[in-house]
């Protein structure tokens, strides 16, 4: 195992030790190890063997898996709903007999599911999906023509909501399957803008596989198939695809490409009122949030802070997007040495969308870093770190 692979475990041990207000010498004594060994492990120059992890875990009163990044589930209610979601996804074409509401009633139910996703209300969403998805399939098979296409559109949006739970809670195999079903139902809808929304979401499969080249190409191909001048919704779809392409390019280290895509998104946003279009929030405020995100993906904390410029996202924006803004801003502030401001931004993200913030891996890593940099963290900081399972 190479040196860089030792570092994350060492950092987690240091963070938990700091959270327990122990020195390296005190931890070493409690674990019956040498202080020199603890220091080397925390620095990343020595590997923590399974036996060492057990000894350190016992001394810190945590499961050893916590020190390697294998974290326990956070929201048991969400995780408890996953088997039911798996069942309806696995038998999507063989739904059990049951009641069928009107398309208008189902439209209301799907809008609620989309809202729960955008507002990071994952518990409510996970509870509703096992009954909503089979009903939508039954409705799809019960209709023909335009009504069937409308049912397919609702089904695509519901699958997207389901993916919001699966991907956020790291059920990546389930997320991949849901996205394929979203693409199928989008094709059945006959609506190119629903298919554009499916292309937007499909990039999550590439994110999970760290395969960013195809993700960028898929977004560019999808954007080329949309005529932004056809309607406001088309302009929003076109801009959203470029907005996400900017983030993908940034994560790939392609700065020029990233800013070019963001420029396209900005131009579209000039013609689109801020709102939610086929499940994606888009408009000038959303593009500004992504400007900060792109700078963070490129590792440019100063540019991210300039893009933020003390701006506060409007309350009308979905909670998940506003929370994401403050998480990215916290990362930029941490890089530029503004630790207190970074923690304040994380607190704002938590207040806006607690479930989203708690599940965001970058939040956990930032808390681990902040813990390592503080000799005596305040109680509020320790409480937050424990909440996200950084300690």
Domain ranges of the chain: 3-68, 75-190, 192-298, 318-391
Q: Give the side-chain half-sphere CA count within 13 A for 293.
A: 22
Whether 47 and 10 have beta carbons less than 8 Å apart is answered as no
Q: How far apart are CA 194 and CA 217, in angstroms?
A: 19
- Please indicate whether residue 132 or residue 47 has the higher confidence score (pLDDT): 132
- Predicted confidence at residue 323, as pLDDT, reads 98
Point out the least confidently predicted range of 11-20, 36-45, 140-149: 11-20
The pTM (predicted TM-score) of the whole model is 0.86
Residue 381 has pLDDT above 50, yes or no: yes
Q: Which fold has domain 3-68?
A: 434 Repressor (Amino-terminal Domain) (1.10.260)
Phi-psi region of 310 (alpha: psi -120 to 50; beta: other; left: phi over 0): left
pLDDT tens-digit map of 319-357: 999 999 999 999 999 999 999 999 999 999 999 999 999
**Mean pLDDT over residues 271-299, rounded?**
97
Residue 227 has pLDDT above 70, yes or no: yes
């Amino acid at each position: 195992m190479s040196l860089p692979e030792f570092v994350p475990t060492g950092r987690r041990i240091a963070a938990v030790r700091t959270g327990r207000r122990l020195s390296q010498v005190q931890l070493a004594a409690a674990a019956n190890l040498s202080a020199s060994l603890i220091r080397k492990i925390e620095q990343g120059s020595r590997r923590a063997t399974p036996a060492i992890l057990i000894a350190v875990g016992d001394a810190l009163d945590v499961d050893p898996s916590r020190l390697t990044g294998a974290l326990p589930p956070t929201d048991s209610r969400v995780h408890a709903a996953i088997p039911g979601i798996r069942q309806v996804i696995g038998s999507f074409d063989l739904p059990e007999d049951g009641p069928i509401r009107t398309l208008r009633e189902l439209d209301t139910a799907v809008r609620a599911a989309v809202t729960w996703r955008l507002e990071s209300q994952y518990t409510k969403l996970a509870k509703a999906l096992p009954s909503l998805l089979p009903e939508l399939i039954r409705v799809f098979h019960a209709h023909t023509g335009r009504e069937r296409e409308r049912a397919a559109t609702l089904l695509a949006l519901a699958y997207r909501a389901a993916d919001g739970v699966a991907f956020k809670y790291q059920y990546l195999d389930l997320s991949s399957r849901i996205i394929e079903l979203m693409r199928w139902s989008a094709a059945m809808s006959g609506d190119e803008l629903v298919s554009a929304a499916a292309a937007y979401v499909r990039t999550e499969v590439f994110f999970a596989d760290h395969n960013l080249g195809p993700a960028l190409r898929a977004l560019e191909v999808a954007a080329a198939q949309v005529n932004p001048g056809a309607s406001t919704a088309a302009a929003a779809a076109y801009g959203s695809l470029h907005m996400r392409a900017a983030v993908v390019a940034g994560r790939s280290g392609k700065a020029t490409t990233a800013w070019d895509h963001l420029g396209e998104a900005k131009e579209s946003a000039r013609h689109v009122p801020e709102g939610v279009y086929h499940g994606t929030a888009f408009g000038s405020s959303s593009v500004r949030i992504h400007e900060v995100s792109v700078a963070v993906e490129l590792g440019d904390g100063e540019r991210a802070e300039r893009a933020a410029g003390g701006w506060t996202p409007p309350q009308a924006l979905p909670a998940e997007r506003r929370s994401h803004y403050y998480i990215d801003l916290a990362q930029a502030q941490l890089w530029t040495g503004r630790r207190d401001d970074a923690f304040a931004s994380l607190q704002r993200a938590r207040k806006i969308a607690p479930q989203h913030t708690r599940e965001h891996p970058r939040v956990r890593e930032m808390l681990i870093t902040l813990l390592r940099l503080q000799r005596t963290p305040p109680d509020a900081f320790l409480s937050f770190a424990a909440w996200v399972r950084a300690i």
